[in-house]
Structure 1
Amino acid sequence: MNLLVNAKNGPGGATQAMPDGRKPEPGGWNRIQIKFDDLNGFVETLRKADLRFRNEIVTGFGGKQILLDDPAGNPIELFERSSK
């Protein structure tokens, strides 16, 4: 298991604001991260199943990510590492 920590104003996608203007802040933004090889394809599958996302896929330092809300409203980060 890895603990991933993002800088408050770093280049990563996790520091980007949500479409409604909310920015990541302490409390309520803690999340698990699940890695995928084809993030776009998996997100499309989940959208067809009417799952709720907090944002669109964003690209940041290290890869692409999107936040999915679980049934209780907790965020789950879906992540695809950028190929180098």
Structure 2
Amino acid sequence: MTAIDDSEATVRYIVDDVPAAIDFYTKHLGFTLRSAHLPAFADVTRGPLRLLLSGAASSGARATPEDANTAGRNRIHLIVADLDAEIERLRGAGLPFRSDVVSGPGGRQVLLADPAGNLVELFTPAGQ
């Protein structure tokens, strides 16, 4: 087996509008633009997470089977220090939440939708 660079985790989101996705992730969630090949593709990073934003013209989107185009329960999980402050900030920016705050033994979370409807979970661990 060939060695793999595992210094970052990579997730692909299929998006309708790559520039809108870049704006959403960099402006509101603290990601940094790594590269852009508009209108087909861009990738953004936050810490060890590399998020691939694949538009309709990208190879990643073209490889998706027709019957797999429904949203699942998958989402990226971002830890935030103050969930209530983040919710207030993002609501002030007019961003759409897809759930109410949910509390559990591990902490509190809320689901936010990106411009294509992909889910982002904002999470504050218990005790913070």
TM-score, normalising length from structure 1? Answer: 0.65
CA RMSD of aligned residues (A): 1.9
Could you say which residue in structure 2 is the equivalent of 1:77?
A: 121
- Normalized per residue, the structure richer in helix is 2
**Take 2:122 and 2:110, find their aligned partners in 1: how far apart are those partners?**
5
Give the aligned residue type for 1:31: R
1:35 to 53, 66, 79: 79
Could you say which residue in structure 2 is the equivalent of 1:63?
A: 107
Per-residue displacement from partner, 1:5-51 (whole Å, max 9, x unpaired)?
xxxxxxxxxxxxxxxxxxxxxx6110110001101001100001110
Aligned sequence identity (%)? 47
**Take 1:55 and 1:28, find their aligned partners in 2: how far apart are those partners?**
15
In structure 1, list runs of 5 or more residues that go unmatched: 3-26
- Structure number with greater CO (CA < 8 Å, separation at least 6) is 1
SS in 2 for 1:68: strand
Give the aligned residue type for 1:54: R
The yes-or-no answer on 1:45 pairing with 2:74 is no
Q: Which of the pair has more CA radius of gyration?
A: 2
TM-score, normalising length from structure 2? Answer: 0.44
In structure 2, list runs of 5 or more residues that go unmatched: 1-7, 10-70
